Amino acid sequence: MSAEHYLARIGEIIETIRQTQKEKIERAGEVFARSIRDGGRVYLFGSGHSVIPVLDIFPRYGSFVGFLPIYDPRLMWFNVVGPGGARELLWLERQEGYVRNILLSYGLEPRDSILIFSHGGLNAAPVEMALEARKQGLTVVSVSSLQNHRQARATHSSGKKLADASDIAIDNCVPPEDALVGIEGVPEKFAAGSTVAAVSIAMALVAEVGSRLVREGAKPPTFVSPNVGLPPDHNEQVFRAYEQFATNRRG
């Protein structure tokens, strides 16, 4: 029963995204396609569980060169407690000023754009990533819970939440508590919804950007499953295209 309830709830959330966020997803797709077409980059960022949709965009079967993830292992847990655990990450992503150090390794340009994931949209890491990117002329797209945005108090010293610092703020349509299934007898809910919602939005954006690029005559190098029968060196060519893209700027 609880499994069925979760699947029904997450299906409702995906349908709400389809009905209410279509225009924003299309606008973001236009921005990202323009960045790639103009020789720019579409940066991707998230911390904690919000790194999952970043990991799923590229490299991923069915995605393509043009997306550049911003990874920081200190903002990605690989342990529960102890070194690399959740306690340290949850502390660090709330510290103001850290993101500026991350961006020292990336040469942001106005022709670039960025996609930032954060369910709560309050922590310093995603908020400062958006603020710094906008300062450098990038178009900022975010994916977060706009219900949480409406009811939560800003915790960053700027007084801004992630949606406030975004040019396009896509709603993941998940309630602030994230977990979706309530069981009688316990106050806590189980089974989070934000990851499924964020990955669904991410893949919708990949589809939108890819289709726009193809219509404009710019076929992107696409990472594919080895099950589809393309030449055996296809993905190696994609990796080489990504290396060139990630290290060089076209004029």
pLDDT tens sequence across 203-215: 999 999 999 999 9
The helix/strand/coil state of 141 is: strand
Average pLDDT over residues 228-248: 92
- One-letter amino acid of 120: G
DSSP bridge pairs for 169: 142
pLDDT level of residue 1 (50, 70, 90 thresholds) = low
41-99 pLDDT tens trace: 999 999 999 999 999 999 999 999 999 999 999 999 889 998 889 999 999 999 999 99
Positive or negative torsion for Cα 241, 143, 108, 74 = negative
Does 250 score more than 80 pLDDT? no
> 42: Cβ–Cβ under 8 A, 6 or more apart, which residues?
32, 35, 36, 66, 67, 68, 112, 113, 114, 115, 209
Instruction: Give one word for 194, left, alpha or beta, with left for phi > 0 and alpha for psi -120 to 50.
Output: alpha
Look at strands 179-182 and 189-192 and give their pairing. Answer: antiparallel
> Is there a contact between 98 and 125 (Cβ–Cβ < 8 Å)?
yes
Inform me whether the pLDDT recorded for 251 exceeds 80. no
pLDDT of 105-156, one tens digit each?
999 999 999 999 999 999 999 999 999 999 999 999 999 999 999 999 999 9
CB 169 within 8 A of CB 162: yes
Identify the pLDDT of residue 230: 85
DSSP three-state, residue 149: helix
CATH number of the structural domain spanning residue 120:
3.40.50.10490
Tell me how many domains the chain contains.
Answer: 1
Is the pLDDT assigned to residue 33 strictly greater than 80?
Answer: yes
Domain that holds residue 14: 2-247
Return all residues near 219 (Cβ < 8 A) that are at least 6 apart: 213
Choice between 248 and 28, residue whose per-residue pLDDT is larger:
28
Distance CA 165, CA 132 (A): 10
Distance (Å, whole) CA 207 – CA 204: 5
Alpha-helix residue ranges (DSSP H) falling in 46-193: 52-57, 86-92, 98-102, 124-135, 146-151
The SS3 call for residue 37 is helix
How far apart (Å, rounded) are the C-alpha atoms in residues 104 and 184? 49
Of 105, 164, 157, nearest in space to 134 by CA? 164
